[in-house]
Amino acid sequence: MKSKKAVYFLAAIVLAVWGLILYKVFLAMQDKDSRKITISTKVQAKLSVPYQYPDTFTLLLKYPDPFTGQVQTPPDTTVKNKEKTVSIAVMAKVPNPLDSLKYLGFVAGGSSNRRVAVLSYKGVESLLKEGEMLHSMKILNIENNAVRVSNGRTIKVLKKE
């Protein structure tokens, strides 16, 4: 009879422990929305850094060297006014956009017999017909081995590479 009481007592303890575990699990799953974090979007005022004044002290380094006994004079580290140098600005030559244009070939249309030039400008390939513009450059004429291009001032013939 004693053993039956012990079994019932241990079963009650096991049920209580499992009940507590399940209660904690369900409580954690249930209150997800009630524990939301609110974030303030109010912008705080910017903090200014105080002005740092230049150093107004000097180190007195006129003491003897403990090993040699000689007094060494420190190098002069004071800031001296340098003479102002005048630099003359030279106008840089504006690069011609036609210099970075390459003619790679053409594609001929089937029935319309219109040609489309394959041009590379700064590494970017483009397909252009006669009369179309590419970065202020106009395609004038497309031939088998060359293409004529104008940038408004000059006309350049690009040969096939």
What is the per-residue pLDDT across 56-93, written as a single tens digit (0 to 9) for each?
Answer: 777 776 778 888 888 877 667 676 766 777 777 677 77
Query: What is the pLDDT averaged over residues 43-54?
Result: 80
Q: Identify any residues that bridge with 146 across adjacent strands, giving them in sequence order.
A: 159
What are the structure tokens assigned to 56, written together? 């107004």
Q: Is 78 helix (H, G, I), strand (E, B) or coil?
A: coil
The token pair that represents 151 in the structure block: 């940038």
pTM strictly above 0.85:
no
The average pLDDT across 18-36 equals: 80
The CA distance from 114 to 108, in Å, is 6
SS3 label, residue 48: coil
Q: Which helix (H) or strand (E) holds 101?
A: strand 101-108
Q: Is the pLDDT of residue 1 over 60?
A: no
Measured CA to CA, the distance from residue 123 to residue 75 in angstroms comes to 55
Average pLDDT, the chain: 79
